[in-house]
Amino acid sequence: MIGELDPRAAGARRLKDKICVVTGAGQGIGRATARRFGAEGAKVIVADRVATGAVETVRQLEAAGVEAAMILADLGKYAEAQRLIRETVAAWGRIDVLANIVGGTIWWQPYANYSEEQINRELERSLFPTLWCCSAALPVMVEQKAGAIVNVSSAIVRRGLYRTPYAVAKGGVEALTRSLADEYGRHGIRVNCVAPGGTDTPDRVTSRLTLAPGVVGEPAPGMDEYFRETRDDYKRLALARRSQVAEQAAAIAFLASDDASFITGQTVRCDGGT
């Protein structure tokens, strides 16, 4: 039954009985990662700020025989990240894997067109949740003397158009990954990163313009045109296509598993060959 989540999973063995927190698990790469972790034998904590997608993810996991729970939290806020980790430990006793998936571009436009508020919103969406969740989870993992953190960056850190604040946020995620790997390796903690390229997300239920539950921002002038230009960029890739969420989840699951036991401080570019 579990194998039906992703038939490529390694026989539900690589993450067997591990307690895995997946942020942004209500849709897209986050949901695919939760499903892949479940297929690998994990017990999955589905973290998201919107109930609709999180409830559906938990439903899918439980239907496949995976033990799962949901915690709703706005992880752009330090206190909410602390609460996520605190409630996880209270319920499950430990955290073996933290997958920081939450994030994503809000607006597409030339950098000079971004307002101060928009820049702050982009950082709050795509940098702060990873900063805050790592800060909250590391003391738990240090006490355990074990743990794996997998952050999610973006191919735009190397190249891309109309998303400069997002690129800066994800560049920060990659820097955080390298720094924490150096600091915490002595405690038995591995920290790695996956940098996805353009990825199709057919199960999106929350608009990118949703700034908070019930709060939807305005699109930037010309945003649809800028978005189309960046979406067509896949034609320049070696594989000449966009990725699927399950392909990103597979890379994340590898780095989370003991198959990557001697890998830390790395960013795996799952980008189709830029």
Each residue's pLDDT, cut to its tens digit, for the chain (274 residues) gives: 444 566 566 555 899 999 999 999 999 999 999 999 999 999 999 999 999 999 999 999 999 999 999 999 999 999 999 999 999 999 999 999 999 999 999 999 999 999 999 999 999 999 999 999 999 999 999 999 999 999 999 998 988 899 999 999 999 999 999 999 999 999 999 999 999 998 988 887 777 877 777 777 888 988 988 888 887 777 788 998 989 999 999 999 999 999 999 999 999 999 999 7
pLDDT for position 7: 59
**What's the CA gap between 76 and 73, in Å, rounded?**
9
Is 0.85 surpassed by the pTM of this model? yes
Number of domains within the chain: 1
Outline where DSSP puts E strands in the chain: 19-23, 43-48, 68-72, 97-100, 147-152, 189-196, 199-200, 210-212, 215-216, 243-244, 267-270
Which residue range(s) make up the domain with 250?
Answer: 2-268
pLDDT for position 8: 60
Confirm whether 192 is domain-assigned: yes
pLDDT for position 1: 41
Confirm whether 184 is domain-assigned: yes
pLDDT for position 203: 80
pLDDT for position 104: 92
pLDDT for position 10: 58
pLDDT for position 13: 81
pLDDT for position 212: 74
Read off φ and ψ for residue 246, nearest 5 degrees.
-65, -30
pLDDT for position 105: 92
**CATH code of the domain covering residue 156:** 3.40.50.720
Return the active site residues: 166
**What's the CA gap between 61 and 44, in Å, rounded?**
8
Confirm whether 273 is domain-assigned: no
Confirm whether 274 is domain-assigned: no
Confirm whether 121 is domain-assigned: yes
